[in-house]
Amino acid sequence: MTTYNSMELMICLAARYLEDGATVVVGTGAPCAAAMLAQKLHAPGLVVMFEAGGMGPLLPTMPISVGDSRTFWRGISASSMTEIMELCQRGMVDYTFLGGAQIDQYGNINSTQIGPRDLPPRVRFPGSGGANDLASLCWRTMMITPQDQRRFVPRLDFMTSPGYLHGPGAREAAGLPPGTGPYKVITQLAVFGFDEATKRMRVESLHPGVDLAQVQDNAGFTLLVAPQLPVSMPPSAEELALLRREVDPYRYVIGRN
């Protein structure tokens, strides 16, 4: 039996959603590992982009920042943040990965602060960077995150990056491009999508050994559940071999369980 940890599972699941010929803006860490794995396994034509301007590199090893020289290695362009964001505005970016301290049932993300907005925060985070732009303009937003009630909250302390705001039609009413928005949330317990009618977060698959009650207990709001609830397919031997030997041999990312 092949053994794996939760980070390896989340990365492998995320990589499977990135198809050949698609475009994706990633940061460092798990999203970059997912993109690298997809490139090496089933999507050699995946165009990976970084906020600092690297476009279409064939990443030799795991970069440590979005401005790392490796994010330009054998790329199609050494551009800048301006060009990357312009491509997003023009509707040419299929996927982006975002992270944050909090996420709510509509996929809105907080990466700014913990504590009420009108008071000094208890904890201050880096803020948006390019996350608001990417969440606003890319077609599909994905998130790889640990899941617990501190992160999955009924109400954000601060909205940094928009999901479906407060429900159907809200993004469009706010002037965001129709058809864009949250796509998948991948945690150590389950994979979530978003219900088409209500735009609320919905459980779509459970990871091996996890039951629905455990997933709900680790969320601060009521989760919708898909009519069919399969078990997430574990990483294959090939996926794990590539991930461990070529994508992250020093276990910078996959060593975090």
Phi, psi of 101 (to 5 degrees): -85, -30
| Annotation marks residue 83 as catalytic | no
Of 8, 51, 204, 239, the catalytic one is 51
Contact (Cβ atoms closer than 8 angstroms) between residue 191 and residue 204: yes
Contact (Cβ atoms closer than 8 angstroms) between residue 87 and residue 49: yes
What does the alpha-carbon distance between residue 16 and residue 217 come to, in Å, rounded to a whole number? 27
- Enter the tokens of residue 109: 């993300």
DSSP notation for 190-225: EEEEE-TTT--EEEEEE-TT--HHHHHHT-SSPPEE
3-state class (DSSP) for residue 151? coil
What does the alpha-carbon distance between residue 20 and residue 194 come to, in Å, rounded to a whole number? 23
β-pairing, 113-114 vs 77-78, is unpaired
Contact (Cβ atoms closer than 8 angstroms) between residue 29 and residue 4: no
For 141, which DSSP code?
A: E
What does the alpha-carbon distance between residue 17 and residue 80 come to, in Å, rounded to a whole number? 26
Per the listing, tokens 């906020």 go with: 51
Residues marked as catalytic: 51
